[in-house]
Amino acid sequence: MKRMPSSFILVSLLVMLFLYLPVVILIGLSFNASTMGVAWKGFTFQWYEKLAMDRAILEATVNSVVIAFVSTGLALVLGVGTAIGLETRHGVQRAWVNMILLLPLVIPEILLGVSLLMVFVLCQVHLGFGTIIIGHMVFNLPLTIVIIRARLRKLDPAWEDSARDLGATSWDVLTRITLPLLRPAIWGAGLLGFTVSLDDFVVTFFVAGPGSTTLPLKVFSMIRTGMTPEVNALSAVMVVVSMLCVGLSWFLQQRSAPASSGSSYL
Amino acid sequence: MSESVGLDKVIKSHGLVRAVDHVSLSIQNGEFFSILGPSGSGKTTILRLIAGLDRPDLGDIIIQQRIVTLDPPHKRPVNMVFQHYALFPHLSVYENVAFGLHMKGERQANIQKAVSHMLALVRLQGKEKRLPGQLSGGEQQRVALARALVNRPVVLLLDEPLAALDQQLRQEMQGELKRLQREVKATFICVTHQQDEALMLSDRIAVMHGGKLLQVGTPQEIYDRPVSSAVARFIGLSNALSGTIVSCDGGLCRVEPNGLSPVMVSCSPHDSLQGAVTVMVRPERVHVSSNMSANRYDNSLQAMVHHVAFSGNEVVYHVRLLGGAIWMARVPIAEAQACPLTVGQQVYLQWWAQDGLVLPSQSPPC
């Protein structure tokens, strides 16, 4: 491997610092014994203990996890089906179906949130778990489709041909060849979708109703009444969980494409 | 012998390209049949049509006296070995080979027996648990063969079976293929672009070009009596000379090449050739020497040595004729060493009338 020039390394370090310093400070302060401000008053676990005792936070955590699970699961089922359909059925409509499907990824989230809210109000849908799940699927579904399609394109069509030649029906091909070969990508898409859903604030803020507070909403409301170390602890937990999920997702997708150059959507 | 596979006026287009154009074929039971042609000649499409992976636009596919044109692949007694083997990467060697029997709903005990028997036949015992990615090219090839043959197909289709192997392995697998065919007694239909492979392995060969069947026959027939210059070139006959027929009687044609002295070529008495023709001479039948050797040959042309290539047991001289055409002459090493020729030297090319072929020249060259 060629050695990188030292100026390149320096710039990289500065960028890393810029990106991760706030997170590191946040995690550090979550262990700070001081109740106010950023002055270091000694190491403590008390904010984490308080966090674990807070009923409202636990409730929000459960809400977040349930919503992330359901919206990711539904997005996976629909997304894998759509991706397979798009990759195997060739037609003129593919180009613009493609565009329409990917649009939610580039539309500003605040627009997405406002428009979803308007639709729900117009249709007189009760705001709550259901509307949040639908809201999260709007961005989870295109994400899933992009990831699954990238993997599908790497599958050799000769695998399907040879399975059919050996007596497999379309259903056999799907369950024994296509889906097993997609498994790492499905896990990767699922974990990423789960993380995005867990962390989403903007869309959730618009379509949530009473009794369906998620963790990001809870953090937001806690900050409004003043920055407490408890918020730091909660945020630290969320950062670590998100990073683990995204890391695992990346790892699975790397593994799913060993022959390729390792390019990823990330 | 009865017919194993038949194609009846089959047409298949990919978009605007006619991949298979009015092809009719009859392949007998137990035959080793090769389809020989350059890439893009439609030979793989024919395999896919027989396997049922593609459907013909027109015409019929017949397997064992039954029209199967519209049957899906799993209803045909046919299996295929794909060009790059297409082994399932997530399944072990055992699971790959067992896949077909599994799909047929065979009992587990039977599957186990058949798979281990087949793995023994292709000499892969002990590798059952490996994944395809952990095997060498030759081993993958044998897994692909076992995976197809374990289903006891009446017809085995092979798409460029040896193309991905290196030279030594290729020769080994040629023998292996013949041995396997004797043991399983199936019809083998093999697609290849290598003429020596086709000549060595096959009972009969079909030569294809541009979706059309040019000639079907035994290797000997195709080698000795190609019907067109395209077939001749494809079978390794590279020395060509275009000209016009001056006279043709008693099985001997007199052809006047453009700007060269006339040559004599024997032809069969019922050939009614006239006008523009191509004369072809096998490289191993051309005698090349620095002086006219007592004038006993029927034909003699002047040429200049252009390039000398040494290939172990023989020397290949590339010579330029007066008209500009390059010919090749293969000379056994002992003979070449007795009177060596050097680049730039004036030489005479001489050959017997019966070693030449005269073919109508309207057929397109490969």
Q: Alpha-carbon distance B128 to A127, whole Å?
A: 57
Structure tokens, A231: 């918020």
Side-chain half-sphere CA neighbours of B192 within 13 A: 25
Does B74 contact chain A (CB < 8 Å)? yes
B28 exposed, middle or buried (CB, 10 Å; 0-12, 13-18, 19+)? middle
CATH number of B3-224: 3.40.50.300
**Model pLDDT, residue A234:** 85
Q: Alpha-carbon distance A165 to A159, whole Å?
A: 10
**Model pLDDT, residue A69:** 93
Q: Lowest-pLDDT range, A254-258, B180-184, B256-260, B270-274?
A: A254-258
**Model pLDDT, residue B1:** 60
- Is the pLDDT score of A242 beyond 70? yes
**Model pLDDT, residue B263:** 84
State how far residue B182 is from chain A, nearest Cα, in angstroms: 22
In contact, B69 and B15? CB cutoff 8 Å:
no
Average pLDDT of every residue of chain A: 85
Does B80 contact chain A (CB < 8 Å)? yes
Q: Which residues of A touch B55 (CB under 8 A)?
A: none
**Model pLDDT, residue A258:** 44
The shares of helix, strand and coil residues in chain B, as percent rounded to the nearest 5, are 30, 35, 35
**Model pLDDT, residue A2:** 64
Q: Alpha-carbon distance B234 to B37, whole Å?
A: 8
Does A166 contact chain B (CB < 8 Å)? yes
* Per-residue pLDDT band at A1 (split at 50, 70, 90): low
Q: What is the pLDDT of residues B106-163, one digit of tens each?
A: 899 999 999 999 998 888 888 888 999 888 888 898 999 999 999 999 999 999 888 8
From the list A188, A257, A264, A239, the residue with the least C-alpha distance to A20 is A239
If you measure CA to CA, which chain B residue comes closest to A173? B103
Interface test with A, best of B81, B82, B134, B150 (most A CBs within 10 A): B82
**Model pLDDT, residue A38:** 73
The shortest CB-CB distance from B88 to any of A164, A167, A177 is to A177
Tell if the CB–CB gap between B53 and A165 is shorter than 8 Å. Answer: yes
Tell if the CB–CB gap between A159 and B88 is shorter than 8 Å. Answer: yes
Side-chain half-sphere CA neighbours of B1 within 13 A: 10
Interface test with B, best of A162, A171, A177 (most B CBs within 10 A): A162
The one-letter code for the residue type at A217 is: L
**Model pLDDT, residue B295:** 60
Q: What is the pLDDT of residues B254-310, one digit of tens each?
A: 888 877 788 888 877 666 667 788 888 888 888 888 876 666 788 888 888 888 888
Q: What is the pLDDT of residues B217-251, one digit of tens each?
A: 999 888 888 888 888 888 877 788 888 888 877 77
Q: Which CATH class is domain A55-256?
A: mainly alpha
Number of cross-chain residue pairs from A and B with Cβ atoms under 8 Å apart:
58
| A76 CB-near residues (< 8 Å, 6+ apart) | A144, A186, A189, A190, A193
Interface test with A, best of B44, B71, B78, B103 (most A CBs within 10 A): B103
In contact, B144 and B87? CB cutoff 8 Å:
yes
Interface test with A, best of B99, B102, B118, B149 (most A CBs within 10 A): B99
Assign a CATH topology to domain B229-360: OB fold (Dihydrolipoamide Acetyltransferase, E2P) (2.40.50)
Tell if the CB–CB gap between B151 and A167 is shorter than 8 Å. Answer: yes
**Model pLDDT, residue B204:** 93
- Is the pLDDT score of A263 beyond 60? no
Q: What is the pLDDT of residues B311-323, one digit of tens each?
A: 888 888 889 888 7
Does B51 contact chain A (CB < 8 Å)? yes
A126 exposed, middle or buried (CB, 10 Å; 0-12, 13-18, 19+)? exposed
Q: Which residue has the tokens 């090319």?
A: B349
**Model pLDDT, residue B101:** 92
Does A159 contact chain B (CB < 8 Å)? yes
If you measure CA to CA, which chain B residue comes closest to A157? B86
Q: Which residues of A touch B78 (CB under 8 A)?
A: 165
**Model pLDDT, residue A264:** 35
* Per-residue pLDDT band at B207 (split at 50, 70, 90): very high
Contacts with B, A 167-206, CB within 8 Å: 167-169, 172, 176-177, 180-181
Q: Which helix (H) or strand (E) holds A83?
A: helix A55-88
**Model pLDDT, residue B272:** 66
From the list A159, A139, A154, the residue with the least C-alpha distance to A79 is A139
Tell if the CB–CB gap between B83 and A177 is shorter than 8 Å. Answer: no
Ordered by start, the domain boundaries in chain A are 55-256
State how far residue B96 is from chain A, nearest Cα, in angstroms: 10
Please report the ipTM that was assigned to this predicted complex: 0.77
If you measure CA to CA, which chain A residue comes closest to B149? A166
- Neighbour tally for B4: CB within 10 Å: 24
Q: At what angle do helices B167-184 and B108-121 cross, to 10 degrees?
A: 130
Q: Which residue has the tokens 């072809």?
A: B280
Does B82 contact chain A (CB < 8 Å)? yes
Does B41 contact chain A (CB < 8 Å)? no
Start and end residues for every CATH 3.40.50.300 domain found in chain B: 3-224
**Model pLDDT, residue A261:** 32
Q: What is the pLDDT of residues A71-119, one digit of tens each?
A: 999 999 999 998 888 887 666 567 777 788 888 888 898 999 999 999 9
Q: Which helix (H) or strand (E) holds A87?
A: helix A55-88
The shortest CB-CB distance from A169 to any of B74, B88, B90 is to B74
- Is the pLDDT score of B96 beyond 90? yes
State how far residue A160 is from chain B, nearest Cα, in angstroms: 9
* Terminal C-alpha separation, chain A: 24
In contact, B32 and B181? CB cutoff 8 Å:
yes
**Model pLDDT, residue B364:** 46
Q: What is the pLDDT of residues B23-75, one digit of tens each?
A: 999 999 989 999 998 888 888 999 999 999 999 999 999 999 899 998 888 88
**Model pLDDT, residue A92:** 55
**Model pLDDT, residue B270:** 63
Interface test with A, best of B53, B96, B104 (most A CBs within 10 A): B53
Q: What is the pLDDT of residues A26-44, one digit of tens each?
A: 888 888 887 776 778 888 8
Q: Alpha-carbon distance A48 to B12, whole Å?
A: 71
Does A90 contact chain B (CB < 8 Å)? no
Q: Alpha-carbon distance A191 to A253, whole Å?
A: 11
Start and end residues for every CATH 2.40.50.100 domain found in chain B: 229-360
